[in-house]
Structure 1
Amino acid sequence: MYFVDEEYSEQAAFLSAGTFLTNQPWIHKERVIDSYEIICPVDSTLYIESNHIPYAIEAGEILLIPPHTFHRGLKVCEGRLKFHWLHFSGAHLGPKSEEEVIRKINEKDPDEMIILPIYTNKIDSRRFHVMFNQLLDLYQEKKPRSYLDAYLTCLLYELTAEIRSYLIQKASNGNRLQPIQDWIRIHAFEDITLEQIADHFKYNKNYLSRIYKENTGIGISEQIIKFRLKHAKELLTETDLSIIEIASEVGYEDAKYFMRLFKKYVNVTPTEYRKTFYCKHYNKK
């Protein structure tokens, strides 16, 4: 999830910033605030829940907490903990999915947009830390508010540039991976391996495995399983084939292994799935 201002029609207003540092056990208190907050650990891990989603934010990662969002610590952080925090308001930021953001980047002039992720580990945090420390120095020097707002805008555009670059690269990889995904779908019921797929498309197998998971959210082995189980569901509801025959049809000679996989991914056994959906299928006719 991202928060986006497509035209940055209203400049963000700087409110406050600081660096939290402790060497004692500490947990973030429960609260709801009326401004945006950006948190970026410098070292150690901050355990926090925001909008009922748990995060373990490592050094160099960034979490955005939108206004009026309940957040609290999840567990005590032991030992040294240091993180930057920044509060701002004013920008007309609205929630959008990753697909929507990529589409907007392609439709509009991306230089006019502010794009802030709810959570990311895809940026060069060193640049963020440098700019944050400069902003903090200006704040502590009691520079005029307009000066701080302008520098905040620079910081938000820097984050946007990092995220935009990541999303464009991810979309490009996604297009590049589509032929591979299509090939896997066609051959999923055969005894195929990562090595065979990598050889067919002239990739290093470790590189292919990594970029496939980064861009689809699942590994190649799991992708094969999902294609097989999707077809198994169709056979269960549209044919009278036995479970053993269906297992073989989708690439599993060991029917018991197929049934275990089906239960793991679908949460019911193949027999239970057929009883539930077989009649529904034919009632539509």
Structure 2
Amino acid sequence: MPESVVDELTNATLSDFPVHCSYRTTSLYQPMFHSHNGFELYLCLQGNGSFIAGERIHELGAGTFTVVKPKALHLPRPNTNVPFHRYVLAVQRSYLENLYAEDRDCSLAIRQWLPKPDSDSVHSRLNARQLLSLQETLAQLELEITRKQPCYPLIVKSLLLQLFAQLGRYQSESGEGQGGTYEQKRLVENILGYIMEHHHQPLRTENLCGRFHLSRSYLFRIFKQNTGVSINEFLVAYRINKAKDFLQGTELPITEVAATVGFQDISHFCHTFKRFSGMTPSRYRSAHNGCYSTRDF
């Protein structure tokens, strides 16, 4: 039996409010096997390694999504040599069960993503478009839970339902043949990793082709086939999400935020940011001021 602890901090947090969501970029708070009373939904945005949940060892990487049932021992084991960014969503068991108890559609949408009685976890991988979309929903959840404005419990409930509806839609998309071969997927994973690592630099198609020894047309085709978006669409969306991190978590001037995430023109950055988020960078910063959580697991 591995050394383990009961995560009393998460248990206490869920006693105060049945849903907790946090975006984490620092090292693990819990370096050993642990368990708690809620479901845990673990979305990896960046990094690699393994995620151990009960009897299963899952791959950990950008887009991996793992659901762990209450009281199951689990431990993420990220590669400490690369940045590790993730969203961790904990939901009280009774709250989630009540959410789908009286609605058949909700029951079908939610229960398919929960571990079966004979398993401790459910694991899947999202493509780049799905990852960015789910990340946005989790960011809204974190904001609502942190700020606790009027009617926030109702909005949290609606966002949870939206999250499971998104997951159900992603599952239906998985049968539409957008994925390529295993070798192609690993290649695209390497390309995604390179783009995320160098997003702040000018990234030209010819540089990607040269680095990965691919023709322009083949690069475009396998990337779109395996992610659902073009290289430029992913790059821009990733830069905007990184900009949101800086706007929320730092006091950098907006011009520096734009340059830091790879935008060379401030007006283009502001226009693009508003197109993605529905508000200007300065308004986004004001709306999200102080919403970062200091807890990390």
TM-based fold match above 0.5: no
The bucket for the TM-score relative to the shorter chain is 0.3 to 0.5
Larger radius of gyration: 1
Q: Give the TM-score normalised by structure 1.
A: 0.43
Q: Given the two structures, how large is their TM-score scaled by the length of structure 2?
A: 0.42
